[in-house]
Structure 1
């Protein structure tokens, strides 16, 4: 996202706006899971099976985030690779709206103008598909390209675990120093 913002407009195109749209939808999707868990109030909350979208969830539990996308936008939102994008694997991708999660689900490219209006605060629902693009299917999209989540390697596996300062031979939970003193910035340490 930051990389797209730092590129000249002629290189990045609408990528930064598309990334912002992705971020808004992703965060709202996850908040739906959080809120559903809060409302069910169980120790191990599952989404009620009534909040399901075909291709996601199972007879025991649903998929509240995907259900919300269908209610809000009129379909599921997924981004697929644009092989001609100069940003390569750092691209936002092409947004598509799908009826459900099955391979035979109709997929319509989302209007870029809809995304730009949305980012500018002009919210209208359901989302508008691009009028000049012919419909396809999720299966055809998966055959022709990849979801953008597959373009970037999972970097968290490559990052070494954070190290804590040595605690000498003190047992865990006890120390001669005040708790969490190792987390303080140097200029905030005790005098």
Structure 2
């Protein structure tokens, strides 16, 4: 791709992915972890090609009892997005277009950190041990959108009675996240 990635690209990818993920959850009662690779077209919001990494591989990353699987997934994201990485070079050598955007879909627990200091967030983790144990958490279908040097996300909340997911919102243009899956922290 010979152009900069724009907000319209993220919005178009979000709309397509969020609706499909919510339909999947509402049909099956769960969402298996997925990783999509997209090559963007010449116009903002245009997707030229769409690929799915082997779902069994992605599922295996998240089924391990330790964080090693998630660490391996994070390393894969970086290899797929870092310019001139061995993986991107190999893709080009064999006639494949490296992805411009990676889309990561999985179920997750999230909590809102807005308005909280770093110390407050750390104290919550110390007290509860995990987001899942926090009282103000939200269960969701989590969708991460990654490019080299930037990640954003959106959540589709999972509701009870009846158990279902609803299409949520993509984070605002200045919204990002931190952690092992974030490409933003790499810059």
Q: Is the shorter-chain TM-score for this pair beyond 0.5, marking a shared fold?
A: no
TM-score by length of 2: 0.28
TM-score by length of 1: 0.27
Which one has the bigger strand percentage? 2
